Amino acid sequence: MSERLEDIAAAMVADGKGLLAADESSGTIKKRFDVIGVESTADSRRDYREMMFRASDAMTKYISGVILYDETIHQNAADGTPLVDIIKASGAIPGIKVDAGAKPLAAFPGDTITEGLDGLRERLAEYYKLGARFAKWRAVIDIDVAKGVPSATSIGSNAHALARYAALCQEAGIVPIVEPEVLMDGAHDIDICYEISKATLTKLYTELYAARVVLEGTILKPNMILAGKKSGKVSSPDEVAEKTIKLFRETVPAAIGGIAFLSGGQTDEQATANLNAINAIGPHPWTLTFSYGRALQAAPQKAWSGKAANVAAAQAAFAHRAHMNHLAALGQWQPTLEQAA
């Protein structure tokens, strides 16, 4: 395929396909494995990811790319095939998480800053050689209005880091996914989410412009606009769609390569229903699809539970969620399709 940044970005969001975010750090995947009673070792992590990447029905029809963690991009399947080659053989593009995680922001209790810029140029060159053609950097913006979180300093520092990361990626021939995640964990209502996300995206695009990032060769990975989990409210798909699109029209340039949402702790079906509602009110200036971690993997993880005998059932569970999200990316999903399965 073409190596031009804008072509790679376009392929990542084309045809109702989306991204599988399989880039959980070793700490995060351990938490997921704890839930299903599987010990987290290099081999169990490999077996799990190999099961997903070999789910050819899901991978070939619905998945445009896979975000990997550093360990996984170096791993081979049980038969010795590099996992990257299995992904490529399915037609999907390998990608890599390159940030080093969100750390407490000094002097701003409750705020975080994502680290990982030191040595990034050299790491990107290595990941390119290993086959990565896109990368991901996640900034984390929590909301706790009573405590003054997030601060303008946190939003500004994270936007600046995302812009420096994005420019380095493009220099290396790698498409940056810029992910400024406004968390849905808080007790805030949907309008607070809207306001904080607006400040975050406005600052992000100011910084990307100042860093001379070519917008056509970037993918935005945003949160949807919805009420916080601790608010006790669940925003309806229509409200999520209306507010998310209103915000993006105000803040996100039409020039970017595309938008691929994170699921962020929504239930599997909410993540699908909301993406569908967003696309059903189109057409929009950008292609909007999914880059889900939990909302694609929760069902197959449960079905797999670490047993080789469950591989086919787990692959079918993955294919189902991927199919539902594919339809949502096209605005063609219906709740009845979930019951049918």
What is the contact surface with ligand 13P in residues (CB under 6 A)? 21, 138, 179, 262-264, 292-295
In this complex, which beta carbon is closest to ligand 13P, that of residue 228 or of residue 293? 293
Task: Compute the least distance from the CB of residue 292 to ligand 13P, in Å.
Answer: 4
In this complex, which beta carbon is closest to ligand 13P, that of residue 21 or of residue 132? 21
CA distances, 182 to each of 26, 113, 193, 255, 263 (Å)? 23, 13, 7, 22, 11
Residue of 17, 97, 221, 243 with catalytic role = 221
Chain position whose Cβ is nearest to ligand 13P:
293
**Quick check: 47 and 33 in contact, CB under 8 A?**
no
**Which of 158, 149, 73 has the alpha carbon at shortest distance from 108?**
149
Residue of 24, 50, 179, 207 with catalytic role = 179
User: Alpha-carbon distance 150 to 218, whole Å?
Assistant: 25
Task: Compute the least distance from the CB of residue 293 to ligand 13P, in Å.
Answer: 3
In this complex, which beta carbon is closest to ligand 13P, that of residue 65 or of residue 131? 65
Task: Compute the least distance from the CB of residue 6 to ligand 13P, in Å.
Answer: 22
User: Alpha-carbon distance 11 to 191, whole Å?
Assistant: 33
Task: Compute the least distance from the CB of residue 261 to ligand 13P, in Å.
Answer: 8
- Backbone dihedral angles phi then psi of residue 76, each to the nearest 5 degrees: -105, 155
Task: Compute the least distance from the CB of residue 263 to ligand 13P, in Å.
Answer: 3
| 179 catalytic per annotation | yes
User: Alpha-carbon distance 26 to 40, whole Å?
Assistant: 8
**Quick check: 250 and 304 in contact, CB under 8 A?**
no
| 230 catalytic per annotation | no
User: Alpha-carbon distance 66 to 68, whole Å?
Assistant: 6
Interior/surface letters 114-147, b for 16+ CB within 10 angstroms, e for the rest: bebbeebeebbeebbeebbbbbbbbbbbbbbeee
In this complex, which beta carbon is closest to ligand 13P, that of residue 19 or of residue 120? 19
In this complex, which beta carbon is closest to ligand 13P, that of residue 154 or of residue 325? 325
Q: Which residues are catalytic?
A: 179, 221
